[in-house]
């Protein structure tokens, strides 16, 4: 009986040490998958532009209509993190109306439900709020949200450090 209790204790201790590692690996995998999907969406946007002459109009928590023909199979607009969605942003730069901002964002909060936000469990997302996003910049002064300054909490996956 004592041997069984010792074995169970050892297994419990090992499990307590290993499970946080699994969570870190899972969060890292979400980011890697998002980077791959950002690249796929970017390539689809380039093909869209070649066919139709310009990038599609802005969408709200979705990928642009018509982009599916250039994307591989998948559940679009769902992003790689559970409960998140991709968002195509085609904005006029608030600091220079002659420039545009083109980016693909992963949004973590349902519209009108800030209490249901599900942010990544990573240090770089520790200060995220309802307007924060992980984003892939295509053109312009990219940012987490159009209504926020460039330095608002967010994470750009392809911006120079």
CA distance 27 to 17: 17
Q: Is the residue at 52 inside a domain?
A: yes
Domain of residue 78, residue span = 2-156
> Is-contact 113 83, C-beta < 8 A?
no
List Cβ neighbours of 26 (8 Å cut-off, separation of 6 or more).
Answer: none
Q: Is the residue at 59 inside a domain?
A: yes
Tally the domains of the chain: 1
pLDDT band at 24 (very low <50, low <70, confident <90, very high): confident
Q: What is the mean pLDDT of the chain?
A: 91
pLDDT for the residue numbered 26: 84
Neighbours of 56 (CB within 10 A): 16
Average pLDDT score over residue span 27-56: 94
Q: Is the residue at 53 inside a domain?
A: yes
Residue 36 CA, chain-centre distance (Å), reads 11
Residue 47 CA, chain-centre distance (Å), reads 22
CA distance 86 to 67: 13
pLDDT for the residue numbered 3: 86
Q: Is the residue at 21 inside a domain?
A: yes
3-state class (DSSP) for residue 15: helix
pTM of the model: 0.84
pLDDT for the residue numbered 160: 80
Q: Is the residue at 40 inside a domain?
A: yes
Q: Is the residue at 161 inside a domain?
A: no
> Is-contact 136 157, C-beta < 8 A?
yes
Residue 17 has pLDDT above 80, yes or no: no
Q: Is the residue at 67 inside a domain?
A: yes
């Amino acid at each position: 009986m004592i041997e069984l209790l010792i074995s169970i204790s050892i297994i419990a201790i090992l499990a307590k040490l290993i499970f946080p590692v699994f969570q870190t690996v899972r969060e890292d995998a979400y980011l890697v998958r998002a980077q791959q999907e950002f690249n796929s969406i970017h390539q689809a946007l380039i093909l869209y532009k070649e066919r139709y002459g310009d990038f599609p109009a802005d969408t709200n928590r979705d990928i642009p209509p018509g982009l599916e023909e250039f994307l591989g199979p998948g559940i679009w607009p769902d992003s790689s993190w559970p409960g998140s969605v991709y968002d195509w942003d085609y904005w006029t730069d608030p600091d220079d109306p002659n420039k545009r901002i083109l980016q693909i964002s992963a949004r973590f909060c349902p519209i009108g439900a800030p209490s249901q936000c599900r942010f990544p469990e990573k240090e770089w997302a520790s200060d995220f709020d309802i307007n924060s996003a992980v984003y892939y910049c295509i053109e312009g002064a990219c940012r987490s949200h159009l209504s926020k300054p460039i330095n608002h909490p967010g994470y750009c996956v392809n911006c120079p450090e």
